[in-house]
Amino acid sequence: MKLVLQRVTGASVSVDEKEIACINKGLMVLFGAEKGDGEGQADFLAEKTLNLRIFPDENGKMNRSCLDVGGSILVVSQFTLAGDCSRGRRPGFDRAAAPETARALYEYYARVLGQSGLPIAMGQFAANMKVSLVNDGPVTFLLER
């Protein structure tokens, strides 16, 4: 399982020219499930997402988590995170989880995040989405499990 976390001042997702989700200050998470991934990885990464200290404190040091600052989280499924670009010029997706497995893990991860009480928004699984965000910092991390 791979996640790209971006600290944002705002982010939104549109499908067919219609905005379906938006957040203000918080995290934009791109979510990619791979073959063999399960709820254990999702639990670990949800805890990490909520508690990673990447927001500034009063001294400007990255010392606060999304929970600490009461941020929102926008989760967008992105199977291309499982892409293999090591050979040729066309990415291979053999590592990507099957769509039904990926959807279940994506929804599970978002539910676990939601247990924190923070506002959680989601993109639309398997849709052609337009994602807009203002990366704050920029601060971007790749999490894998």
**Per-residue pLDDT tens for 114-130?**
999 999 999 999 999 99
Amino acid at 95: R
133: Cβ–Cβ under 8 A, 6 or more apart, which residues? 6, 8, 10, 11, 12, 28
How is residue 46 annotated by DSSP?
Answer: H
User: Residue 93 catalytic?
Assistant: no
Instruction: Please state the domain extents for the chain.
Output: 2-144
Q: How confident is the model at residue 134 (pLDDT cuts 50, 70, 90)?
A: very high
pLDDT of residue 94: 96
SS3 50: helix
d(CA 109, CA 115): 10
How many angstroms from the chain centroid is the CA of residue 60? 24
Predicted pLDDT at 107: 98
Is residue 44 flagged as an active site residue? Answer: no
Please report the pLDDT score of residue 114 as a whole number: 98
**Predicted pLDDT at 93:** 97
Residue tagged active-site, from 78, 101, 115, 140: 78
Active site residue 31: no
Average pLDDT, the chain: 97
Region 91-110 average pLDDT? 97
**What per-residue confidence (pLDDT) applies to 1?**
98
20-70: per-residue pLDDT in tens? Answer: 999 999 999 999 999 999 999 999 999 999 999 999 999 999 999 999 999
CATH 3.90.1150.10 for domain 2-144, yes or no, is no
Q: Which of 79, 101, 125, 141 is catalytic?
A: 79
Distances 5 to 8, 17, 27, 44, 94 between C-alpha atoms, Å: 9, 25, 6, 14, 24
Q: Which of 80, 93, 115, 140 is catalytic?
A: 80
* Whole-number pLDDT of residue 96: 97
Residue 79: per-residue pLDDT: 95
Residues of the chain with pLDDT > 70, as a percent, come to 100
Q: Which of 36, 21, 33, 106 is nearest to 72 (CA)?
A: 21
Q: How many Å apart are CA 79 and CA 1, to the nearest integer?
A: 10
- Are the CB atoms for 93 and 84 separated by under 8 Å? yes
Question: Six-digit token pair at 97?
Answer: 């989880």
